[in-house]
Amino acid sequence: MDTKLQNRRALAVLRAAKRRKLREEQLGTGTVCVTCLEPDLDKLRYPKASLLHAHHPLGQRHAPEPTLPQCHNCHAKIHFVLADEGVDLTTQPSPIERIREAIHALSLCLGQLGETLRGWVTLFDRLVSWLDSELPDWRKRLEAVCAQKN
């Protein structure tokens, strides 16, 4: 690994620690998002003008399209991950370096989406378990409702 990349990653770690300390000082401990109940101060930020942001999963300077709509906290989460991982979102000197940073950014964005989907799977598992215990015939009822719609 070249020295420039090592320095950039070391600087990213230092900046991440500084951000964490500043957020703890500003928000205090035990603060949670009132919408998603997110307790991790690394991921909490106050919204600016819009509740949804156009996230550029490849990095806006690397590839302005595509974009993904993300809530403020989810957008903040991925940008903290990008910063902590040392992804350079500035214009790169060559196409090869731009592609490398874009792929790195996309891999982290896809990881975030994967975590979100795994969370949904867990919620659906809990829902099915609850339905099985509280409404044992829920599958038949659902079939009947779906059959009426067709």
Residue 87: its pLDDT value, please? 94
**Torsions phi, psi of 143, nearest 5?**
-60, -45
Residue 15: its pLDDT value, please? 81
Instruction: List CB contacts of 8: < 8 A, sequence separation 6 or more.
Output: 86, 88
3-state secondary structure (DSSP) of residue 135 = coil
**Torsions phi, psi of 46, nearest 5?**
-85, 140
104 within 8 A of 89, measured Cβ to Cβ: no
Mean pLDDT of the chain: 82
Residue 78: exposure state from Cβ atoms within 10 A (0-12, 13-18, ≥19) = buried
Residue 18: its pLDDT value, please? 81
Residue 35: its pLDDT value, please? 45
